[in-house]
Amino acid sequence: MKIINRYILSEAKLPIAFGISLFTFIFMIEIIVSMMESIIIKGISLIDVIRMLSFYLPMILSQTIPMGMFLGIMITFGKFTKSSESTAMNSIGMSLKDMIKPVALMGIGVTIFIFFLQESIIPRSFNKLQQLTLKMAYENPVFQLRDKVLIDDMSDYKLYIDKIDPKTKNAKNLLIFIEEEDTKYPTLVLGETAHWKDAAMVIDDVKFYRFDKNGEENLRGTFDERKIPLSSYFQNVEMQVDDIEGMGISQLVKEMKTKKDKSEKLPYIVEINKKLAIPLSTIMLSILGVLMSIGHHRSGKGVNYGFGIGIIFVYIVFLNIGMVMSYRGKVSPYLGIWLPNILLYLFTIIMYKKKVELV
């Protein structure tokens, strides 16, 4: 039996790698498209883009590994059924339970690996992603700034850029509102062009208008250039994931303890349950992959794969609905996050009972 178990695991390696790669690519499409925009329009180097993708990868893998395991095992045991290898295993005394055992053990091992990813690799990758994104923003402010958008999350400034030249990276036709302590009306600054230097925007041909407490203009003037610091803005550079997603379970628990209000604790509770539920789905998905593929039939393989992908889709939809409803306080986060796993477990048990009668 040990030889057959090793054979099953050996045959499953490539299909599982294919399944994980497929789902990982699907999950990364949005990020890849965003990165292509950065390369083509904003002049970010290809090396930096590849480094960013590598730091996103562990976070995505923690979600796609269970799905890839399911698809890979389906492909493996579908092949065993088609070549009658599963029938041969059954004829030498291997029960369905015996065939499932090596797959279940592999699922347990992979679950432990995902927890390792979440606790060790992902927090480090997230920190490196933050550092790289911040470095890119300082070196190339166009990476973070947007034209034809009012940027109002800088300290003491609000900035509007009409156009950013994709070749020179210079900004054109700028409008800046500078908050003043002694009046409720901001100082208005107009600039023809601007370039970037040391995490600051240097504006050329500047005109400014200042207003008194009644909103009447009381001062106007011009400068050849004016320097506007952007360092505070770059402290909150935009990324595809939130801070909370880059934390391990131990970090989330520690951060949650610092929150006093129940509403402040809720996102941490939801994320902790998510980081537990998704890895633990690996075991059942692995077993279900066997049950969905094995049998004496040689037809309907495409239907089985379609049905299997449908199960993954339904699981993801239910999980996301549960997360949204949990964040909004509509349902308990424990029910919202764990219900898809409970349904998956029940479906696996039902399938097992049916297959035991056939195999």
How many residues can be counted in the chain? 359
pLDDT in tens, 71-124: 999 999 888 888 888 778 877 878 888 889 999 999 999 999 999 999 999 989
Distance from the first to the final alpha carbon of the chain: 17
Q: Is 272 exposed, middle or buried (0-12, 13-18, 19+ CB in 10 A)?
A: buried
Token pair of 308, please?
């299997």
Decide: 28 and 56 in contact? Cβ < 8 Å.
Answer: yes
Residues in the chain with pLDDT < 70? 1, 37-44, 134-146, 152-155, 166-168, 182, 198-199, 229-242, 295-304, 357-359
pLDDT in tens, 43-78: 667 787 788 888 889 989 999 999 999 999 999 988
pLDDT in tens, 11-31: 999 999 999 999 999 888 878
On whether the pTM is more than 0.75, the answer is: no
Token pair of 255, please?
């951060």
Residue 293: how many CB atoms within 10 A of its CB?
Answer: 22
Decide: 173 and 161 in contact? Cβ < 8 Å.
Answer: yes
The pairing of beta strand 187-197 with beta strand 150-154: unpaired
Q: Provide the β-strand partners of residue 222.
A: 207
- Residue in this structure with the two tokens 């379609």, named with its chain if needed: 306
Instruction: Give the C-alpha separation, 291 to 126, whole Å.
Output: 37
122 closest CA partner among 274, 302, 336: 274
The predicted structure's pLDDT at residue 339: 94
